[in-house]
Amino acid sequence: MKHFSISVIAGDGIGPEVMREGLKVVEAAEKLHGGVRFSYESYDWGCDYYLQNGMMMPKDGLDQIRDCDVILFGAVGAPEVPDHVSVWELILPIRRTFQQYVNLRPVKLLKGLESPLRHKTHDDLDFLVVRENTEGEYSNIGGRLHEGTPYELAIQNNVFTKFGTKRILEYAYTLAKKKQKKNMTIATKSNAINFAMPFWDEIAKEIAGHHPEIETNIYHIDALAAYFISKPEEFDIVVGSNLFGDILTDLGAAIVGGLGIAPSGNINPDFHYPSMFEPIHGSAPDIAGKGIANPIGQIWSVAMMMDHLGFTGLGELIIQSIEEVLQEGLVRTPDLGGDSSTVEVGDAIVHKFKQLS
Ligand code: NAI
Ligand code: MG
- What are the residue ranges spanned by the domains of the chain? 1-108+261-357, 114-256
CATH match of 1-108+261-357 with 3.60.21.10: no
**Which pTM was predicted?**
0.95
Contacts of 52 (CB under 8 A, 6+ apart): none
Residue nearest to atom 8 of ligand 1 (CA): 284
Report the nearest atom of ligand 1 relative to the CA of 298: 18
How far apart are the CA of 130 and the centre of ligand 1, in A?
22
What are residue 164's phi and psi, to 5 degrees? Answer: -70, -35
Query: Which residues, given as ranges, of the chain have pLDDT below 50?
Result: none
Output the pLDDT for position 84: 87
Ligand 1 pocket at CB < 6 A: 14, 18, 75-77, 83, 86, 91, 259-260, 278, 281-287, 293-294, 297, 333, 335
Out of 113, 259, 331, give the residue to mutate to test ligand 1, the one with the largest number of ligand atoms within 8 Å of its CB. Answer: 259
What is the model's pLDDT at position 140?
A: 82
Are 1-108+261-357 and 114-256 the same fold in CATH? yes
Q: Would you report the helix, strand and coil content of the chain in percent, each value rounded to 5?
A: 45, 20, 35
Burial class (CB in 10 A: 0-12, 13-18, 19+), 320: middle
Pairing between β-strand 36-42 and β-strand 215-220 as defined by DSSP bridges: unpaired
CB atoms within 10 A of CB 163: 10
What pLDDT sits at residue 142?
95
CA 221 vs CA 48, 124, 132, 238: distances in Å: 39, 20, 15, 11
Residue 332 confidence (pLDDT): 96
**How many whole angstroms from 260 Cα to the centroid of ligand 2?**
14
| One-letter identity of residue 170 | E
Residue 246: per-residue pLDDT: 93
| CATH 3.30.450.40 at 114-256, yes or no | no
Torsion over CA: 321, 326, 328, 329 (sign)? positive
